[in-house]
Amino acid sequence: MPGAAGPPGLPPGPTGGPSGPAALAALRRIPFLEGAPEEALARMVPSTRWHQLQAGAVVVDSGDASDDVYFVLEGSVRVVVRTAFGHEAILNDLGPGDFFGELAAIDGVRRSANVTALLRTRLCAVRGAALMELVLQCPAVGRRLLRLLTARLRDKDERLLEATALPVRQRLSAELLRLSRPRGGGEKVLSPPPPQHVLAARIGLRRETVSRELARMSRAGLLTVGRQAIVLHHPEALRREIEALLRGAEAPDPRREKP
């Protein structure tokens, strides 16, 4: 990684895991591979490796030439892009059932992002050529990959539009809405609350800017920031405000919403 040092990446060989029939059974349990023929999965077993990582371990780094596709079995990882000057943008956090690395498997181009374990994490790595052979042979798996790529493209388009068309507060609101879950009573909650520098890296802002906007939203009664959670008191009003701005219409004031 240019301009930065970090934990060592994955070792070149397997770090332990199932083999033979047990490996085949483990592959069957991966959601993305559901519906794949038994014989196709069996052919993929020799191209499969299993990894246990501690928090902070680098899985792949920007510029790496590997083409493995990684399935998250336990734990979570963070996908980040960085500049040589230390600026970073968080693209995604992935957990059990998710996978990454498919772009390198498809086009053979070097890695474009850094992926680091956030927690103790278990991964299944499949050689890119082996997975692409399966994708091309199994229409159900191929359609699943196309849907995933389409969803990620739509998400990138949505974030790009927000970054270019929304003021700072609404960009922050949009990210808080994405990260939150229903709490009851029409509210939503982020628990545990993400650190402010993480929120900033997710939407391309400075930490100080995010801190200032959270304080303003708190004073306006739109949210409460605590050590255990961030509570959004009027999430639907925030969503309508964002949608109105994206349509070019006059945005309603979420502060006027009644609880």
Taking a C-beta distance cutoff of 8 angstroms, is the pair 88, 80 a contact? Answer: yes
Residue 11 has pLDDT above 70, yes or no: no
Q: What would the mean pLDDT of 154-175 be, rounded to a whole number?
A: 94
Among the listed residues 102, 126, 165, 156, the one whose alpha carbon sits nearest the alpha carbon of residue 41: 126
CA end-to-end span of the chain: 48
Cα gap 63→108, rounded to integer Å: 12
DSSP bridge partners of 92: 79
Cα gap 232→223, rounded to integer Å: 4
DSSP bridge partners of 112: none
Cα gap 198→165, rounded to integer Å: 22
Q: Is 91 exposed, middle or buried (0-12, 13-18, 19+ CB in 10 A)?
A: buried
Cα gap 140→96, rounded to integer Å: 21
Q: Tokens at residue 111, please?
A: 């890695």
3-class secondary-structure state, position 233: coil
DSSP bridge partners of 58: 116
Cα gap 243→229, rounded to integer Å: 25
Among the listed residues 110, 115, 112, the one whose alpha carbon sits nearest the alpha carbon of residue 99: 115
152 CA to centre of own chain = 10
Q: What would the mean pLDDT of 248-257 be, rounded to a whole number?
A: 62
Q: What percentage of residues in the chain have a pLDDT greater than 70?
A: 89
Q: Tokens at residue 220, please?
A: 């306006």
Number of residues assigned to the chain: 259
DSSP tag of 167? -
Q: What percentage of residues in the chain have a pLDDT greater than 90?
A: 82
Give 172 or 13, the one with higher predicted confidence. Answer: 172
Residue-wise pLDDT tens digits, 24-75: 999 999 999 998 999 999 999 999 999 999 999 999 999 999 999 999 999 9
Q: What would the mean pLDDT of 143-171 be, rounded to a whole number?
A: 94
Domains parsed from the chain with CATH numbers: 21-160 (2.60.120.10), 166-256 (1.10.10.10)
Supply the pLDDT for residue 87: 81
Taking a C-beta distance cutoff of 8 angstroms, is the pair 57, 7 a contact? Answer: yes
Residue-wise pLDDT tens digits, 184-226: 899 999 999 999 999 999 999 999 999 999 999 999 999 999 9
3-class secondary-structure state, position 222: coil
Give 88 or 235, the one with higher predicted confidence. Answer: 235
Cα gap 36→99, rounded to integer Å: 17
